[in-house]
């Protein structure tokens, strides 16, 4: 299999997941008003980001689940699952009726879809990195692993660009009513591309069966390393998400103020 195809198959899931990450943040104000209409403006925005955060509580579970699939059935199976588990909920969020149609079922369904996405995000980033490193030639493993992070950054930029493009080309009323849904629907295109790229990755399914479940073995034999890497992840993630959510709160608050005046 060509190196370019392997790289694309490894990166595309992160592109999709962080694309969704960016557009959800970009349109958080509109989502809040669609699904939490009885709250004031700030509460709507915080409710939308609260749903956004709930998905991330599922990331450790998703990491364990996707890792187990990869260890038992191969990286291709794990990565095909993770990109599918992100693409379908992203598309469904674009179709999901709001509170005016479904009542309390609307925010409940939104929360459920975000939790499914959290399962995907938890397994995609590290699984794609392992996939790329395993297929790298000697001396290029660091570069190949770093490409997974490049996919995440590229997805964030893509989602921000798409959100800004729709905001610039549509009226505020249209954007608030239905325009915010289109970027979520477009995410299905990336998901389909990722599915077919990964479906045709050539890989031998693991034949060795361990006596213990891999996640149990990892936590029992390597718990110090797990705690160390978890600490490094927290150190990086807290700074990133504080700055990201703060910037989106300010941007969405300004957008809401503009809509209210008009």
CA–CA separation, 163 and 25 (whole Å) = 10
Asked if residue 260 has pLDDT above 60, the reply is no
For residue range 147-157, list pLDDT tens digits in order.
888 888 888 88
Closest CA to 135 of 10, 13, 11: 10
What local confidence, expressed as pLDDT, does residue 75 receive? 80
pTM score, whole prediction: 0.81
> What domains does the chain contain, in order, with CATH numbers?
3-261 (1.20.1250.20)
What local confidence, expressed as pLDDT, does residue 92 receive? 94
For residue range 145-195, list pLDDT tens digits in order.
888 888 888 888 898 899 889 988 988 888 888 999 999 999 888 888 888
Burial of 157 (0-12, 13-18, 19+ CB in 10 A): middle
CA–CA separation, 90 and 191 (whole Å) = 9
CA–CA separation, 199 and 80 (whole Å) = 7
For residue range 118-134, list pLDDT tens digits in order.
888 878 888 888 888 88
Of 58 and 91, more confident:
91
Q: Which long-range contacts (CB under 8 A, 24 or more apart) does 34-42 make?
A: 34/98, 34/99, 34/106, 35/98, 35/99, 35/106, 35/107, 35/110, 36/99, 36/107, 37/98, 37/99, 37/100, 38/99, 41/253, 41/256, 41/260, 42/253
Q: Which residues contact 37 (CB under 8 A, 6 or more apart)?
A: 44, 98, 99, 100
What local confidence, expressed as pLDDT, does residue 180 receive? 93
CA–CA separation, 83 and 73 (whole Å) = 16
CA–CA separation, 9 and 143 (whole Å) = 16
Q: Which residues contact 139 (CB under 8 A, 6 or more apart)?
A: none
* Backbone conformation region of residue 177, classed left if phi is above 0, alpha if psi is from -120 to 50, else beta: alpha
Asked if residue 222 has pLDDT above 60, the reply is yes
What local confidence, expressed as pLDDT, does residue 97 receive? 94
What local confidence, expressed as pLDDT, does residue 37 receive? 80
For residue range 7-19, list pLDDT tens digits in order.
888 888 888 888 8
What local confidence, expressed as pLDDT, does residue 181 receive? 94
């Amino acid at each position: 299999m060509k190196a370019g195809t392997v790289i694309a198959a490894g990166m595309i899931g992160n592109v999709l997941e962080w694309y969704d990450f960016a557009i959800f943040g970009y349109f958080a104000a509109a989502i809040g008003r669609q699904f939490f209409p009885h709250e004031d403006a700030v509460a709507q925005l915080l409710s939308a980001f609260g749903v956004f955060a709930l998905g991330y509580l599922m990331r450790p579970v998703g990491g364990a689940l996707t890792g187990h699939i990869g260890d038992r059935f191969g990286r291709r199976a794990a990565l095909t699952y993770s990109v599918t588990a992100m693409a379908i909920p992203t598309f469904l969020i674009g179709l999901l009726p709001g509170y005016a149609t479904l009542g309390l079922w609307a925010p409940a369904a939104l929360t459920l879809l975000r939790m499914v996405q959290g399962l995907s995000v938890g397994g995609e980033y590290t699984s794609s990195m392992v996939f790329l490193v395993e297929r790298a030639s000697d001396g290029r493993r660091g570069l190949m692993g770093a490409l997974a992070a490049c996919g995440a950054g590229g997805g964030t930029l893509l989602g921000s660009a798409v959100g800004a493009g729709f905001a610039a080309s549509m009226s505020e009323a249209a954007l608030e009513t239905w325009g915010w849904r289109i970027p979520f629907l477009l995410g299905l295109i990336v998901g389909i591309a990722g599915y077919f790229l990964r479906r045709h990755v050539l890989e031998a399914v693991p034949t060795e069966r361990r006596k213990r479940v891999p996640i149990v073995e990892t936590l029992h034999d390597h718990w110090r390393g797990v705690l160390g890497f978890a600490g490094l992840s927290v150190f990086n993630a807290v700074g990133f998400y504080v700055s990201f959510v703060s910037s989106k709160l300010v941007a969405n608050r300004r957008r809401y103020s503009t809509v209210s005046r008009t």
